[in-house]
Structure 1
Amino acid sequence: MLALFLLFMIQLTYLTFNSIDTYHKYLDTRQSITAEGIYIGSSKQKKEDHILIDLNGEVRTFIAPAALNLHSLQWNDRVAIQYGERTMMIGSLENITFTAPTLIPIPVDSSNTDTTDIQQ
């Protein structure tokens, strides 16, 4: 009888923890956070990819889904991420690249050689 009661309590505890974990994942998908930071690096821990990102001077560790292409990122790249606050699971990650605007050359009139305005 005691063994049956212990088995019931173990199953109930397992079900409770799984329900809480599922609820946290549900909250993360409904209320995700968007942030920008600097990619520091990645590592593999317990069969999960972990990403280190500097968010406003604070280095935080996030869990990356398997579908994310981490090979395209390099150290010190600026990234925009969307993640769940409770699970620290990244929903989306994109590399922010800054492109310099193209400069248009201004034609210089060679007939105007008056430089008095420039010297003042």
Structure 2
Amino acid sequence: MKRKFTILSSLMLLVTMSFAFALSSPNEKYFEGKWSVLIKGTPQGDATIPMRFETVDGKTTGYFIEEGANEEKKMSSATIKDDVLNTSFNISGYDVTLSLTKVDDDNAKGDLLGMFDVEGKRVK
């Protein structure tokens, strides 16, 4: 009887831990698609940058369109960890980092270089 209880308890603990792990894993698909990203309070004023993200085989790639350009540029990096998207790219001659965190189904917030507030809105 004691052995059955131990096995059952171990099994329940294992199931609970794997369920908790599944809930806390990054949601890569959330950031998929096009975004309008507003960067607030830069020295040149507020700026909106169109961005697009795609995840293939667990690897996220980001793209953006620089002001005055017609074609997308690929970001240097884009990673998702703990439901936070972190990117780095070169825009207007500056190497920048940007992070976004989910707010709701169509909105995200974060920062640029840890100094400027950022709001992302999904483009439908």
TM-score of the superposition, structure 1-length normalised? 0.31
Whose helix proportion is higher, 1 or 2?
Answer: 1
Larger Rg, first or second structure (1 or 2) = 1
Whose strand proportion is higher, 1 or 2?
Answer: 2
